[in-house]
Amino acid sequence: MSHQPTRWAQFGVLITVFFFWGFVAASNDILIPVFKKAFNLSQSQSQLVAVAFYVAYTVGSLIYFGISKWVGQDLLNKIGYKNGICVGLLISALGTLLFYPAANNSSFPLMLSGLFIVGLGFALQQIAANPLAIVMGNPATGAQRLTMAGGVNNFGTTIGP
């Protein structure tokens, strides 16, 4: 077994991204009362903010699985983990861009669509980031890197709100 040192500079960037995923995900709850007031929503309607974002993780995972089955191989093994994260960031950016017309037109459905698309991008980013954390050094210590990244994600989730 060869000893491959951890690429700490690259891993530092990756765990920073883990932090922001937690931060943004936890910050969604702050949007609920804001949207409730801005769009004159009932409590159950305002909870769609969280539902749209988190259901996107499941849908995104199913889409990823379906595409991987369709092409006959794991999609990320084909395009690479870093490219998968970049594609996920682009998807999230597209969802964020929907916030502008949604706000300008006072469109709650368009705002939910934007949140859903952001969640789809986050799903792909996290699908790619977990194995990337493992391969950024000696595979024998990959679980330790993944645990550290998860801890940093939880820290972002804690201070996000």
CA atoms within 13 A on the CB side of 150: 9
Structure confidence by residue, pLDDT tens digits, 10-56: 999 999 999 999 998 888 888 889 889 989 999 999 999 989 999 99
- What backbone phi and psi angles, to 5 degrees, belong to 57? -60, -45
The domains located in the chain, with CATH, are 42-159 (1.20.1250.20)
Local confidence band at 4 (pLDDT 50, 70, 90 cut-offs): confident
Report which of residues 66 and 139 the model is more confident about. 66
Would you say residue 74 has pLDDT above 70?
yes
State mean pLDDT over 60-76: 94
Beta carbons of 96 and 114 less than 8 angstroms apart? yes
- What backbone phi and psi angles, to 5 degrees, belong to 7? -85, 85
**What is the pLDDT, as a whole number, of residue 2?**
55
Plot region of 4 (φ>0 → left; ψ -120 to 50 → alpha; else → beta)? beta
pLDDT mean across residues, the chain: 91
DSSP readout, 62-119? HHHHHHHHHHTS-HHHHH-HHHHHHHHHHHHHHHHHTHHHHHHTT-HHHHHHHHHHHH
